[in-house]
Each structure stands twice: as structure tokens, then as C-alpha cells.
Amino acid sequence: MLTAIKNTLRIPVINLGRLFQTSAPIATEKFVHKRIPQDDEGVQGEKIIDLDSVLKSKQSLFPTLESDNLLFDGMPYNQLPICNIRVTHNNTIFTMTDAAGIVKLIRSCGMEGFKNTKKGTNIAAQTTAISIATKAIDRGVKTIRVRVRGLGPGRLAAVKGLQMGGLQIVSVTDNTHVSWNPPRPRKARRL
């Protein structure tokens, strides 16, 4: 009975040969892992750039003894107002002082309307920076020095916000305290 069913249900078998041909790649030379590099391999760029001339052109990047007397908008560098930025994980506080350190303006993210965890964000720092920049421009300040202290998310956004607010930043100084005798680490967690 089975053979009768097989004979009645003859299914034609189609022979699909290979549709494309592949062959193994032929290597011209054998790769040796322990090959010794040539003398100048990997150092081609050294001969193109003269490092001394590049450093001399960037000489004005680093301050010298004469830097305090350089004029920026008709005012010596050491007489420029300073914007102190205190950055923490929870808040960013801006203090605008004159060269002697007398406080002229204070703004923080909390004063700007940000509450709770939103005070520590980079958007809050940038908004506050734009706000203090407009207040400083209203008082006649155009060019400032910036001192940043602390680590937090609003570090770069604060400086960027001062620029977006219209102030010209002459220098950015990192004034973060580094403890030489930090507190003892927590006891190791027992598992």
C-alpha cells in the first residue's frame, strides 16, 4: 500500500547545482608573526614636523612674568574681574569679583529656579552662567578671568555658558583643592 501511495505521489526532484563558484584565496607570500620591523616603521611623522618651531609658535599659550601686564580691552591682565565657579555634585555657584577679590555678583543654580537634583545638572550650570554673564555685561564687564573649583557635571557647561552670555574669557584656571592626606576609605564590604 505504501508503494502504491509513493507511486501516485511522484514529486519531481529538481537538482539545484551550485549557483556560484568560490575558490580559496591564493596568498603570494606567507605572513610571519615574528617579523622584525624596519628602522623607520611607525615614525614617518617625526621627520615631517619640526617640534621646536611648533613650540615657539605656541609660546604665548603659557604665562610668563610679563603676562600680568598684557592688555585686554585696555585693562591689564592682573586688573581683570574674576568669575569664581564652585562646582559640586549638587550645585554650581558663580561669584563675580573684582581683581582685589571684592564680591560684586553671586548666582547659583538654586537661585535660578532649579530645585533638588536638577541643581547639579550641566543644563542648570549653563543657564546660571548665561544669567550671571548678562548681569555682568549690564554692569560694564566685558572681559573676565575664570577660576573653576571642584568636580561636578556643570564644570564645562559653566564656562561655555559664560561665553554664550557674551563675556570674553581670557584665561581659565583650575583651582580644585587636592588633599595630600585624604580621609580613610570605607571598610571593605563583607560578602
Domain housing 115: 81-174
Q: Is residue 156 part of a domain?
A: yes
Edge-first strand order for the sheet with 82-87 is 103-108, 92-97, 82-87, 143-149, 168-174
Closest alpha carbon to 112 in 98, 88, 130: 130
> Does residue 128 contact residue 112 with C-beta atoms inside 8 Å?
yes
Rounded Cα distance between 152 and 120, Å, is 8
Amino acid at 137: I
Q: Is residue 144 part of a domain?
A: yes
Output the average pLDDT for the chain: 81
Q: What is the 3-state secondary structure (H, E, C) of 84-129?
A: EEEECCCCEEEEEECCCCCEEEEEECCCCCCCHHHHHCHHHHHHHH
DSSP E strands, the chain: 71-72, 75-76, 82-87, 92-97, 103-108, 143-149, 168-174
Q: Is residue 117 part of a domain?
A: yes
Q: pLDDT for 33-49, tens place per residue?
A: 566 555 555 555 555 66
Q: What is the pLDDT of residue 126?
A: 93
Q: pTM above the 0.85 mark?
A: no
Q: Is residue 146 part of a domain?
A: yes
DSSP state of 182: P
Q: Is residue 162 part of a domain?
A: yes
CATH number at residue 137: 3.30.420.80
Collapsing DSSP states into helix, strand and coil, what is residue 55?
A: helix
Specify the number of domains making up the chain: 1
Q: Is residue 122 part of a domain?
A: yes
Q: pLDDT for 75-88, tens place per residue?
A: 888 889 999 999 99
Q: Is residue 134 part of a domain?
A: yes
Q: Is residue 191 part of a domain?
A: no
> Does residue 119 contact residue 111 with C-beta atoms inside 8 Å?
no
Q: pLDDT for 120-171, tens place per residue?
A: 999 999 999 999 999 999 999 999 999 999 998 889 999 999 999 999 999 8
Please give the grid coordinates belonging to residue 52: 621646536
Rounded Cα distance between 87 and 105, Å, is 17
Rounded Cα distance between 46 and 181, Å, is 42
